[in-house]
Amino acid sequence: MVRAIIRAADALSASGWLANKAGYDPAAVSDPLVTTVKDVTALVIYFGLTTALLQHLL
């Protein structure tokens, strides 16, 4: 889980670098993307664990 989040942050931080090269504000581009990827990853992990536990209990 931690490795996936680190890789996502690394990959999406490149968007900030590209935005800077294009003349845009890097924080305005990369922050929402990194936050979205982290949130989606956390939800997938949460629902995956929940599903696995419910299948085990029921």
* 43 vs 13, higher pLDDT: 43
Distance between CA atoms of residues 52 and 21, nearest Å: 44
Q: Is 1 helix (H, G, I), strand (E, B) or coil?
A: coil
pLDDT for 1:
66
Q: Is 25 left (phi over 0), alpha (psi -120 to 50) or beta?
A: beta
Quick: pLDDT tens for 16-56: 888 889 998 888 887 787 788 788 888 998 999 999 999 98
Distance between CA atoms of residues 52 and 38, nearest Å: 21
pLDDT for 6:
78
pLDDT for 3:
77
Read off φ and ψ for residue 24, nearest 5 degrees: -100, 165
pLDDT for 52:
94
Which pTM does this prediction carry?
0.61
Q: Where are the domains of the chain?
A: 2-57
